[in-house]
Chain A
Amino acid sequence: MNPRVLMIGWELPPFNSGGLGEACLGLAKALSKKGVKITFVLPQKVDINVDFMDVVFADIEDSLKMMLSSYVTYSEWAKQFGTDGKNINPFDFLGGALEYAEKIGKIARRCNFDLVHSHDWLTFPAGIVAKKLSNKPFVTHVHQTEMDRTGGHNLNPIVYNIEKVGMEKADKVISVSQFTKNILVNNYAIDPNKITVVHNGIEEISRKRLPPALAAMKKLNYKLVLFLGRITLMKGPEYFVRAAKTVLEHRPKTIFVVVGSGDMQEQMMAEAGNLGIMDNFLFTGFLRGEEKNRIWQSADLFVIPSVSEPFGITALESIANGTPVLLSKQSGVAEVLSHVLKVDFWDTDEMANKIISVLAYPSLKKVLKQESSKELPLINWDKSADKCIGIYRSIQENHGF
């Protein structure tokens, strides 16, 4: 019989701050299609319209903006809400996660389910409570860790502990890549036998062609190199700027487009200014939907210089947009993609070497685009769902269902 799952999430599109919501939706949809009955819990009521699963709300009282923003480092969060440093309590940062745990009881008692599946630390306290109350097995799904967010420096000990305890209390842990699994084993001392890698998938394997952005620049034979994502430590923005400096020494007619925002944006701009290359940088701020895809499709190359990237769904979105990818080897998605360029994030010379090569040789861009688009259909949520169901079944067997 198909298991009934109480899935505890933090966000779902369109009310999402990043990749977590997209990943939860993609996985939940594919699981439902395969007959898994999902009750998806969100911390607060939002106007969400899905027909393949029940969505219930825990009705916690924090402001929505503050809640969504908890999915960043503490220092980034503090900057955003406590600029004067007075009206901020460090525990507010964790408040959402803890209140979620208080409110989950009502839902856990009301719903029928066979196991609990929790996504990332904000939902782990709630997951642990649901497991205790129901005495049902518990799966934690790790999309990102405090190690990734902070690069291992200045990590928030409470967040780290919630992550660690969550995984220890879980019957099974799912990590989105081998890269992340290694972090869980090495930095959280989790038993590797308890962890299964389930790579993310992508639903839309090709994007509608849109009118080009920045056409005037392209007409003047400028090449566009794209950085897209939160401008924050784990995404490696400073390595992008350093590589840009080297690229420009060889190919002055290059524009580096930065889409996104984040706590390191100012620093990134300052760095470009210091290196005297600000004229070749274009900061668009955060973009969504068509606006984002138009720039994506116009770019000659998309660079992901991440220092620590558990998966990296933007690599797949880039390929869907027909733009080849240069990816740091410190990213999980590198495990499922062969037809992309790969580089160590710290090796900015090699990053520049590869950027220049794509700009210099049209055939390289063409083959990367052709071959990577062939890989995309193989990276789908169906596969991820099958793996998840396998994990559910193995737990159920161990629990004597």
Chain B
Amino acid sequence: MSSSFRGNPAFKGREDVITNYYEIFHLPFVIYHLLFILMPSICLYFQVHQPMRVKKYRIFDVGTDHDYFNDTGESNLNNKKILRKVADKSYLPANKLLLKLLKKYPELRLSYSFSGVFLEQLKDQLPHVLGSFRDLVKTGQVEILNETYYHSLAFFYSRAEFESQVNMHKDLIWKLFKVESEVFRNTELAYNNDLAMWADSKGYKGILAEGWDSFLGWRSPNFVYQPTGTKKIKLLLKNYKLSDDIAFRFSEKSWKEWPLTADKFARWVDAINGNGQIVNLFMDYETFGEHQWKEQGIFGFLEHLPSEILKHQDNNFVTPSEAVKKYPAMDEVDVPGVVTWADTERDLSAWVGNSIQSSALTLLYKMEKKILDTGNPKIIQDWRRLQTSDHFYYMCTKWFSDGDVHKYFNPYESPYDAFISYMSALSDLKLRTKATRKRRVKNV
């Protein structure tokens, strides 16, 4: 539900532009490659996230019902139901297959970023699914990235809140997996220079972003870069063409490359030979079994991918932290404005593009001080759960009439219904905050 799948319609008719990208050889690159002829490393990163969707919450519920996320009906607002469904269709079969592959191919490397809200839900409801993720991590071939616990856009609204959530996430990852992350990725791959500088100052070795043309220009995403204004940190950029071939186009019968097989895909990767060092394939984990269905052969594709890639003996797999150790930064990349992995615009407009979204976000972060001052863990938790980016995505009005991916991923009847439930829940939270403060004043 998070994710890169959102950009899907973006690419229709843009294939030419995208291929041109790889045909551009710039002199320094050519020289470099004459010196170091290397086949590319493959870096796989999967995003795993499920939000706590706000139930149909009406104005009449304000002041009486404080459970915003506990829909138990048949609708897609029932978080437990969705988690179970996605676990059965995607997480469990994908984990099972990947565990088998990790054992079969000791060279295989994977990385995951789990949102805290997702892990929390797994721990409570489907501990065996959490166990299956743990089994993957135990192989030692799997890396976990760091992000905000609540899959939020806090970086752009409150630095203090953002840092709290990053620390909460670190703690959770340590608690559940006993590992520490050296690489950071922000919600929706939302990235700019400021974020890179922040991550650099916190000692991260690497950071992830979309390999978007607007700032790359003629440069290829298949190298490691250094963000402007940073000292040490390196930037890994998503190869959106190859990533989206799997994540978006895999089942699209009108696509001229359909059906996509693992050997065909491996040939495309091999073709980068001499024109790049690393191919970053970043996508939602739900690609496997939920966005692309088992019936369309996505698991068969995944099963054969490692062997096809490794057929070429120079190819290899790396985790993000291995990638930044292995390869030098080729150039500096300057991203003053925010770039994300969504839609044709690759900006934040899917979350903050209209007035209902921005008014909800403004109200939410305006409450920060009063919420934290309550010291009430339940109030603070609810406020943070309401920060998850998906809530604002559901209020997106772009293309709502066309019935595209936005509609597909919206569990509400319309962006307006999403907004109305959200704002009523926020009103209730405000009342609770006031009530707690009053009680405290009384006690003093």
Contacting residues, chain A, for B3 (C-beta < 8 A): none
Residue A363 CB within 8 A of the other chain: yes
Contact A354 B397 (CB under 8 A): no
Closest to A337 in B: B401
Which of the 9-residue segments B41-49, B178-186, B317-325, B352-360 touches chain A?
B352-360
**What is the number of residues of chain B that contact chain A, defined by CB distance less than 8 Å?**
19
Closest to B359 in A: A363
Residue A366 CB within 8 A of the other chain: yes
Quick one: which of A342, A356, A363 contacts B59, CB cutoff 8 A? A356
Contact B356 A350 (CB under 8 A): no
Contact A250 B416 (CB under 8 A): no
Which of the 9-residue segments A27-35, A38-46, A367-375 touches chain B?
A367-375
Contacting residues, chain A, for B416 (C-beta < 8 A): 339, 341, 364, 367-368
Contact A339 B400 (CB under 8 A): yes
Contact A364 B401 (CB under 8 A): no
Contact B354 A250 (CB under 8 A): no
Residue B419 CB within 8 A of the other chain: yes
Contact B356 A353 (CB under 8 A): no
Residue A171 CB within 8 A of the other chain: no
**For chain B residues 405-434, which have a beta carbon within 8 Å of chain A?**
413-414, 416-417, 419-420, 423-424
Contact A363 B401 (CB under 8 A): no
B442 to chain A, nearest CB (A): 28
Chief secondary structure at chain A's binding surface? helix
Interface centre among A341, A357, A360 (most CB of B within 10 A): A357
Closest to B358 in A: A363
**For chain B residues 287-308, which have a beta carbon within 8 Å of chain A?**
none
Contacting residues, chain B, for A356 (C-beta < 8 A): 59
Contact A349 B401 (CB under 8 A): no
Interface centre among A349, A350, A360, A364 (most CB of B within 10 A): A364
Closest to B56 in A: A350
Given contacts A342-B413, A342-B414, A363-B359, contact A353 B397 (CB under 8 A): no
Contacting residues, chain B, for A361 (C-beta < 8 A): 356, 359, 419, 423
**For chain B residues 218-253, which have a beta carbon within 8 Å of chain A?**
none
Contact A339 B401 (CB under 8 A): yes
Contacting residues, chain B, for A375 (C-beta < 8 A): 401
Contact B355 A367 (CB under 8 A): yes
Contacting residues, chain B, for A364 (C-beta < 8 A): 356, 416, 419-420
A59 to chain B, nearest CB (A): 47
Residue B267 CB within 8 A of the other chain: no
**Interchain CA distance A74-B358 in the complex, whole Å:** 52
**Interchain CA distance A295-B37 in the complex, whole Å:** 75
Given contacts A338-B401, A339-B397, A361-B423, contact A353 B59 (CB under 8 A): yes
Interface centre among B359, B414, B416, B417 (most CB of A within 10 A): B416
Given contacts A338-B414, A363-B359, A366-B355, contact A353 B401 (CB under 8 A): no
Contacting residues, chain B, for A353 (C-beta < 8 A): 58-60, 420, 424
**Interchain CA distance A366-B419 in the complex, whole Å:** 13
**Interchain CA distance A250-B358 in the complex, whole Å:** 25
Provide the A353-395 mask, 1 if CB < 8 A to any CB of B, else 0: 1101100111110111011000100000000000000000000
Contacting residues, chain A, for B419 (C-beta < 8 A): 357, 361, 364
Provide the A316-356 mask, 1 if CB < 8 A to any CB of B, else 0: 00000000000000000000001101100000011011101
B422 to chain A, nearest CB (A): 10
Given contacts A341-B416, A364-B416, A367-B355, contact A357 B397 (CB under 8 A): no
**For chain B residues 359-393, which have a beta carbon within 8 Å of chain A?**
359
In the A-B complex, the 8 residue pairs with the smallest Cβ-Cβ separation, listed nearest first, are A363-B359, A363-B355, A338-B401, A353-B58, A357-B420, A363-B356, A367-B356, A356-B59
Seen from chain A, the residues whose Cβ lies within 8 Å of a Cβ on chain B are 250, 338-339, 341-342, 349-350, 352-354, 356-357, 360-364, 366-368, 370-371, 375
Given A354-B420, A367-B355, output 15 extra A-B contacts at Cβ < 8 Å: A339-B401, A339-B416, A341-B417, A342-B414, A353-B58, A357-B59, A361-B356, A361-B359, A362-B359, A363-B355, A363-B358, A364-B356, A364-B419, A367-B356, A371-B397
Q: List 25 A-B contacts (CB under 8 A).
A: A338-B400, A338-B414, A341-B416, A341-B417, A349-B58, A350-B58, A353-B58, A353-B420, A354-B420, A356-B59, A357-B419, A357-B423, A360-B423, A361-B356, A361-B359, A361-B419, A361-B423, A363-B359, A364-B420, A366-B355, A367-B356, A367-B416, A371-B354, A371-B400, A375-B401
